[in-house]
Amino acid sequence: MILLTMNLAQQLLQTRSVQIRPHDPFRLTSGRLSPVYVDIRRLISFPEVRAQIIESFAQIARERIGIEAIDVIAGGETAGIAYAAFLAERLQKPMIYVRKEPKDYGKASQVEGVLEPAQRVLLVEDLVTDGGSKLNFTRGIEHAGGRVQHCLCVFEYFSEEAGLHRARDTLREHGIALHSLVNWDDVLRVARAEKSFTEDEIAVVLKFLKELAA
């Protein structure tokens, strides 16, 4: 799994799914300015990388969670839907998707698809920063009758070097285990080895991550 993680970190850099702009920062959905941007949606356009992600997800589902402990696979609106669909097909499991907010028309549903009471739902997402949106999706699933104890994610805003581990702590407090494939420490390790970022750029990233951790 370590080799797969390093390979995926390398692919994130090669496909420009991780970009750095210290002097022209990105504006995140929260409104915060960031010198880096992680675009996991971009990876669905690369079949080999996509296949690696889904196989890694399937391995975690088999070895850490247990296939028998998964009744339904859920994708979060919008980026998680594609990965959930690929994984549901790979594992031959039913799939649903969950909206950020209930619809304001029709049945006012937040969850689309068939979800039976007390079914165990594996939430699949592209990226997790502080865990807040995952809790929102979880509440929507639980309101519809499902149970969420595990979340699979491609990229996690985690860094031992920067002291950033808010997402996994937040989800753990709510009884959800977070399983991610790659994080900032992995990407920076590869970036240093391959000189994808300069040392000054890496310092900017770490400063930003430490600010998030504060």
Given a cut of 50, the residues of the chain with pLDDT beneath it are none
Tokens in use for 133?
A: 């949106």
Tokens in use for 81?
A: 């839907």
pTM: 0.95
* Domain span at 127: 2-213
How big is the CA angle at 134 (ends 202 and 57), to the nearest 5 degrees? Answer: 75
pLDDT of 30 reads 73
CA distance 148 to 168: 14
CA distance 186 to 166: 17
CATH, residue 97: 3.40.50.2020
pLDDT of 2 reads 66
> 20: left (phi > 0), else alpha (psi -120 to 50), else beta?
beta
pLDDT of 1 reads 67
CA distance 210 to 83: 29
CA distance 130 to 168: 8
Tens digits of residue pLDDT in 174-190: 999 999 999 999 999 99
CA distance 148 to 38: 25
How many domains are contained in the chain? Answer: 1
